[in-house]
Amino acid sequence: MELSSLRSRFGQEGVQFEQLGEDLSVVRLQSQLGSVSIALNGAHVLEYSDASGAALLWLSEKANLENGKPIRGGVPICWPWFGPHPEDSEKPAHGFARVSQWELIDIKDERSDGGLAAELRLTDSEFSRSLWPYPFELRFRVSLLLGALGFELTTHNTGERAFQICEALHTYFGVRSIHSTSVDGLDGVPYLDQLESMERKDQKGTIQFDREVDRIYLDPPTKAWVDGSRSGKRIEIESRGSQSAVVWNPWIDKAKRMADFGDEEYLEMLCYETANAGPHVISVEPGEQHTIGASIRAL
Ligand code: TA6
């Protein structure tokens, strides 16, 4: 939808539309609770600042800001598979939701407490059916909440056959330095090490970083915390509808191999992903729905 149509249909106080990069349409919500920008490409949350002005998310300076391409940073939506396609490596990594053009369908003005939310939708198309043969409707709601940003991704099975999905809200957090960053809340939780043939290990204490880390934590507690954020505040992530958490930092070599990632940028980011990945496959029956959600806040 053209910017002019978006403005005429949804424009109101605290809701702006802009174009970024080549052709990215972005909706920006602003209230006394903070601000959030969402690209219609992938329903991709690009940035979020809370009421204190703390900017929680990280976006690569080399990110592709083009329709049809994944955006490096913010909150990519991985759906309906996580990582490389299990059978066909030609298919887009992390599924097609993050490289599809979503439709903005509603702006919820809960302004009594400054709340403002955007609801976006993606339904099956010739493109999606060429990759994954099921009818579906995806709804993604992004909410400016009191002290937090909330995400909810709901999968509706609109077809006649059950289907299975994996998914992740692949959130990139900005940190001052990865060398002084840690993730707390996963002590004792088992994980699959994606760098060592999915070997199962147990987390001991906080997660610290001195090499590439790429782990799928199994049945973690609903809350985890990142210490070392750019704002200096502790970041709390609360997840729901999720049985996995993915923690990732590419470190030096992988950072160099990614064209849309600066060689030194591994120093300033960390992914903590609310997910259903690895062994956690979600089956959705015809007519049924499934929701995964998260909220992030600077304490
Ligand atoms: O979430 C961790 C991970 O699966 C890593 O293995 C790495 O591939 C990362 O996602 C980024 O994937 P992308 O396709 O966005 O480059």
pLDDT in tens, 71-119: 999 999 999 999 999 999 999 999 999 999 999 999 988 756 768 999 9
Per-residue model confidence (pLDDT) at position 112 = 64
- Span from the CA of 19 to the centroid of ligand 1 (angstroms): 26
Q: Is 28 exposed, middle or buried (0-12, 13-18, 19+ CB in 10 A)?
A: middle
**Residues in contact with ligand 1 (CB, 6 Å cut-off):** 70, 83, 93-94, 170, 194, 214, 246, 248, 271, 273
- Span from the CA of 99 to the centroid of ligand 1 (angstroms): 14
58-62, 113-117, 147-151, 291-295: segment of lowest average pLDDT: 113-117
- Of 47, 119, 170, 268, the catalytic one is 170
Q: In the chain, what percentage of residues exceed pLDDT 70? A: 99
Per-residue model confidence (pLDDT) at position 2 = 85
Per-residue model confidence (pLDDT) at position 69 = 97
Residue 299 above 70 pLDDT?
A: yes
Specify which residues 95 forms β-bridges with.
79
List the strands of the sheet with 115-123, edge to edge: 103-110, 115-123, 136-145, 148-157, 289-298, 235-240, 223-227, 182-184, 207-208
Active site residue 85: no
- pTM as predicted: 0.98
The mean pLDDT value for 57-80 works out to 98
Per-residue model confidence (pLDDT) at position 22 = 79
Q: What is the DSSP string of 193-208?
A: ETTTTTEEEE--SSEE
pLDDT in tens, 153-167: 999 999 999 999 999
Peptide bond just before 86 cis, omega within 30 deg: no
Q: In the chain, what percentage of residues exceed pLDDT 90? A: 95
* CB count in 10 Å sphere of residue 175: 24
Residue 255 above 80 pLDDT?
A: yes
Look at the block and give the residue holding tokens 């499934």: 290
Task: Give the span between the Cα atoms of 295 and 142, in whole angstroms.
Answer: 10
Per-residue model confidence (pLDDT) at position 21 = 85
The closest-lying atom of ligand 1 relative to the alpha carbon of residue 94 is 14
39-53, 113-127, 129-143: segment of lowest average pLDDT: 113-127
Query: How far is residue 30 CA from its own chain's centroid?
Result: 20
Token pair recorded at residue 230: 């750019």
Residue 19 above 70 pLDDT?
A: yes
Per-residue model confidence (pLDDT) at position 111 = 59
Active site residue 273: yes
Helix (H, G, I), strand (E, B) or coil at 296: strand
Task: Give the span between the Cα atoms of 296 and 225, in whole angstroms.
Answer: 10
Q: Is 140 exposed, middle or buried (0-12, 13-18, 19+ CB in 10 A)?
A: buried
- Of 47, 119, 236, 273, the catalytic one is 273
Could you tell me the pLDDT band of residue 237, with boundaries at 50, 70 and 90?
very high
